[in-house]
Amino acid sequence: MDDLPSLDKRIVKVTSLDDLEEEKEYWISKTPVERIEAVEINRRMIYGEDRVTSRLQRFFETSELA
């Protein structure tokens, strides 16, 4: 999953926001792994590739008690 898929802008489907049944059936037909991969692709498209590793920061430190 290193390369992002290209977006085909020639394919457009217009539906109502109230019609969730078709979308729900589509995602139910996918395996859990395919769903997680879709979320990861969307996250990379929104935040970019460089943010994948740079997002996690260390905010706790351990110290020895005297």
The DSSP letter of residue 5 is P
* Residue 59 pLDDT > 60: yes
Q: With a threshold of 0.95, does the pTM exceed it?
A: no
Phi then psi for residue 58, to 5 deg, are -90, 125
Q: 2-56: per-residue pLDDT in tens?
A: 677 777 778 877 778 787 888 888 899 999 999 999 988 888 888 777 665 555 5
Separation in Å, CA 51 to CA 14, 29, 43, 55? 31, 30, 10, 6
